[in-house]
Amino acid sequence: MTRKTFIIDDCEVTAGGVLFYKKNKLLMIRCNGKLEDFGGKADPNDSNIYETISREVEEESNNIFKKEDLYKKIIKKKVYISVKSKYLFIFVKVNKNYNVGDFGNREIYENIPRTVEWVHMDKFKNKDFVSENLAWRLRTKDFFQTIFGLKNKNITTLKKSE
């Protein structure tokens, strides 16, 4: 079966996700020992990648983030694409200090064991930490430029992709 594909900036995209951040920390999922964003693959019923991302984030957050609210936020955000993995990711600032325990230790939709944690951005400066902990699809130049840009409050040099 062929996976549903969207074209964004002349790039094929089959999945996407959100990296929530507050100050100098990212809210991330740890699944199978790897840190990843909230997101996943397109379903046949998804009309666009933003719908995919909103649905997946709602599922993976166990309904803490609502897809309708998130969709309105992400449709206007800068996007970053990992061409190799056909993955689109978006950074979203949150003002609330989410308690990671509220997310539970399983994704209820597919009964997948996982935890949620706040990860300090400085940890991504350590190559060993990155290679041992970060999901491969996030190991992109845009990911690292953006998190360090967010930390320094200087993200104006990053490309806008709409």
- What are the tokens at 85? 């993995």
pLDDT for 149 equals: 78
Structural domain count, the chain: 1
Q: Residue 142: its pLDDT value, please? A: 80
Query: 115: domain range?
Result: 6-151
In a domain, 92, yes or no: yes
Residue 156 lies inside a defined structural domain of this protein: no
What is residue 1's predicted lDDT score, i.e. its pLDDT? 65
Residue 101's pLDDT is: 97
Instruction: Assess if residue 10 is contained within a domain.
Output: yes
28 found inside a domain = yes
**Per-residue pLDDT, 10:** 94
- Spatial neighbors of 155 by CB under 8 A, at least 6 apart, are 78, 146, 149
Tell me what pLDDT residue 137 has: 85
- The CATH number of residue 81's host domain is 3.90.79.10
**Is 76 domain-assigned?**
yes
Residue 158: its pLDDT value, please?
33
Mean pLDDT of residues grouped by 10 in the chain (162 residues)? 89 97 95 97 96 98 98 94 91 95 96 97 93 90 80 41 36
Within a domain: 160 = no
Amino acid (one-letter) located at 24: N
Could you write out the three-class secondary structure of the chain? CCCCCEEECCEEECEEEEEEEECCEEEEEEECCEEECEEEECCCCCCCHHHHHHHHHHHHCCCCCCHHHHHHHHCCCCCEEECCCCEEEEEEECCCCCCHHHHCCEECCCCEECEEEEEEHHHHHCHHHHHHHECHHHCCHHHHHHHHHHHCCCCCCCCCCC
Whether residue 158 is contained in a domain is answered as no
With respect to residue 75, please indicate whether it lies within any of the assigned structural domains: yes
Instruction: Report pLDDT for 58.
Output: 98
